[in-house]
Each structure stands twice: as structure tokens, then as C-alpha cells.
Structure 1
Amino acid sequence: MSYSSRKQILITVIVDVKVKPKLLEEYIETALLLTKESRCRAGCISYVFNQSLEDATKFSLYEQWESEEHLNEHIKALIALFGAPKPGDMLPAKLINFYESAKPTSYRTLG
């Protein structure tokens, strides 16, 4: 089921990226720009880039949007700013993973 056919819910996007070492500096600069631009957009609840402590070329982007419409406007703005996405360059092969809130019925403590 595509996210566009779902009811109006909080949208969570998680993007995992492994950057080519030669593009690392450029990617970090782009991530900083994206974070600044995205946090100012209407409907943005959270927009956080995380870099792995174990592998400096691995990143996770976690973002939350108030609605699908806000996310779509954000994507349009990114395309206007950076052009159409080119998976395989600095982007993952699958651009976006969508999640919806889950209500766990129980918790188990690890350790």
C-alpha cells in the first residue's frame, strides 16, 4: 500500500545512507544545508541527521512531518533546490522508507 492511500497520520521518514569516502565532506555540507532548510518548513516536526560513531560514512536521517501534504511540499522544495534525485550518486537506491506509529503491547528489557 502506498503512503498516499493511507489516512492522515504523522509521517515518519527514515533514510539510511552509506556515503562514498571521496564524497563524505560534500555529503556532510549538504546534510547541514538540508537540516537548516527543512527545519524551517511548515509541518516539520523533526529533521535530524545522525552519523555513525563506528563508520563515518554511514548516516541515518530521521524526519517527521505533520501530514503527507507537508512531506510532499518538502520533497518539491528539495527538487527545486537540488534537482531530481539521482540514486546511486550520493543517495540510497531506495530513497524513502515510510513508517507509521506502532503501539507495542509489551516491552522486554534487554541486557
Structure 2
Amino acid sequence: MLTLIAYLHAKPEKREALEQVLQSLVEPTRLEADCIDYHFHRSVDDPNLFMFYENWRSRESLDRHLAMPHLADFWEHRLDYLESDVDLQFFEMKSPLLVSI
């Protein structure tokens, strides 16, 4: 299993628009076959900072997700919304899952 944590720091004037765009990614992503879980967060300390916490069955699953049409438009225009590019951090889970997948 592969975990992705993605940090996105919005331009202040684009925060609300970015939040709507990011929220719109949740439902179609959760419907993807190899998505274990997909969670969208906003920082309690910085209203311009957003984070996705995602678990995928494999790197190949994540690569397929990143190529999905519902992400293509956002990815192409992401820098219109962001102070800096998306910070992607990849992790391999070392503890057992609490639920079976």
C-alpha cells in the first residue's frame, strides 16, 4: 500500500475557489477501484493550507489516479490557485491496517 500526503498552499485571494475545486475531487476519487481512502483537510492554523491524505493499493494505482480526467483540469491550472507547486510526500505503510481491504 502507498500513502500520499499532498500539501497545497493557496494564494489568499484564490483560497475559496481552490477549496471548491479540491472538494469536487473527493467523490470521483473515492469511487476509483484502488482507492483505499481519500481525505481532504484544511489547516486549523493557516486557512490557506490544504492537505490530502490518500491510501492506494499500489504505485500503479496512484499513477492511474493522477491520470484521471477529473484531475487533469486541476493539475493543468493548479499554479493559478497556489503560492507554490503541490508538495507531494510518499509513504509506505509499516503498521497493519485496522480493517481489511
Q: TM-score, normalised by structure 2?
A: 0.77
Q: TM-score, normalised by structure 1?
A: 0.71
Which residue number in structure 1 is paired with residue 17 of structure 2? 26
Task: Tell which has more relative contact order, 1 or 2 (C-alpha 8 A, sep 6+).
Answer: 2
Which residue number in structure 2 is paired with residue 65 of structure 1? 56
Query: Partners in 2 of 1:33 and 1:40 — Cα distance?
Result: 13
Q: Which structure's residues are more often strand, by fraction? A: 2
Flag structure 1 segments of 5+ consecutive residues without an equivalent.
1-9, 104-111
Which residue number in structure 2 is paired with residue 4 of structure 1? none
Q: Secondary structure at the match of 2:39?
A: strand
Flag structure 2 segments of 5+ consecutive residues without an equivalent.
96-101
Kindly state the Cα deviation for residue 29 of structure 1 after the two structures are TM-superposed.
Answer: 0.8
Could you report, residue by residue, the CA deviation over 1:80-108 in whole angstroms, capped at 9, with x for unpaired residues? 641654564335435522111246xxxxx
% same residue: 28
Larger radius of gyration, structure 1 or 2? 1
RMSD: 2.3
**Aligned pairs, number:** 94
Q: Which structure's residues are more often helix, by fraction? A: 2
Q: Secondary structure at the match of 2:47?
A: coil
